[in-house]
Structure 1
C-alpha cells in the first residue's frame, strides 16, 4: 500500500467490527491470540529500562562464588525500582516521583517466572519490600500502584 492508502486505527477497528458483526465465526483460540498480539502494541513504552546491574560492572565478569549481593536498578517515567539479590532473598525499594510518590496505598510487587507461580508482596509506606526463597532462573518484576505500573525486562538471576 502507498502511504495515502493506509487506514487509520479508527477505520481499521471499524472494519474489523463490521466483519465480526456479520456473524463470522471466530474461534476462542484466535480471540486469545488477537488479544495477546494487541497487548504487545505498546510493550516498549511499558517496559522499564535497566539502569544498573552490578553483574555487568568491570571485574564482575567472573563471579566470586556469589559472596557479593547483586544489585539491579530499573526506571521508567519517574519511577525507579532498586533490588538487591543476596542468596535466596530479594530486597527492594520502589522510588517514585510525582503521581507515584503521592499514591495513598502501597505498591504491590510481583516476581514472575515463565514456568512457575508468581510471588507477590506488598511494599511498605517507604516502598521497601522483601521476597524470600527466590531461586535462580529467569524472572521479571511487575510493580503496580494506584493506576500505574512498571514491568522490568526478563533477567537471569
Structure 2
C-alpha cells in the first residue's frame, strides 16, 4: 500500500468503499453478541449482596455436613428487597421469603438443569422441591424489577 500522502482521491474512495463493505459483511449474530457483551461491564454491581450465610458462621467448617448438620440459610439484599433462603440439603427442599415483594416470581437457575419458577404467596413465602446440592442462583422478579443472587453452592 502507498503512503497516505501519496494516495489520490480515487484511491482513498476505493479504500473507504472496501472498509464499508467489510462492515456490512459482519454477521448479525456477531453484532448481537458484541452488544450483549457490553452488559457484562456492570454485572457485579447488579448482583444482590450476601448478608448472611450459615456456612460461614464460626464453627460451621468443623461441623458435620451430614443429616444432623441442619439446613443452610442465606440472606441477600438489593435495592431494598431482601431474600431469605433455607435449603435442606438432604431433602432438596428450598424454602424462602421475599421480604417486601409479595407475589414475586422466584426462579432457581442451575447450570445442569432447567430453571424452576414459582410465585411467592401474598406474604412473600415460597417453596421449591428437588433443589439438590450444587451451584445455583436465584432470580426474583416483580413489576419489571429483578433481584439476582450470585452463584452459590448449596
Q: Name the CA distance, whole Å, in 1 between partners of 2:24 and 2:63.
A: 58
- Give 1:114 deviation, angstroms: 1.6
The residue that corresponds to 1:147 in the other structure is 144
Match of 2:134 in 1: 137
2:33 maps to 1:30: no
1:93 to 97, 100, 103: 97
- Of the structure 1 ranges 137-146 and 62-71, higher mean CA displacement relative to structure 2 is found in 62-71
SS at match of 1:94: strand
The whole-number CA distance in structure 1 between the counterparts of 2:30 and 2:23 is 15
Aligned partner of 1:107 among 100, 104, 108? 104
Which residues of structure 1 form unaligned runs of 5+? 1-18
CA RMSD in angstroms, aligned pairs only? 2.2
- Residue 51 of structure 1 is matched in structure 2 by 51
Q: TM-score, normalised by structure 2?
A: 0.77
CA distance in 2, matches of 1:44, 1:143: 17
TM-score (norm 1): 0.76
Gap runs ≥5 in structure 2? 1-18
After TM superposition, what 4+ stretches of structure 1 lie above 3 angstroms from structure 2? none
- Cα distance between partner residues in 2 of 1:32 and 1:69: 42
| SS in structure 2 of the partner of residue 124 of structure 1 | coil
Q: CA deviation at 1:24?
A: 1.6
Which residue of 1 is the match for residue 71 of structure 2?
69
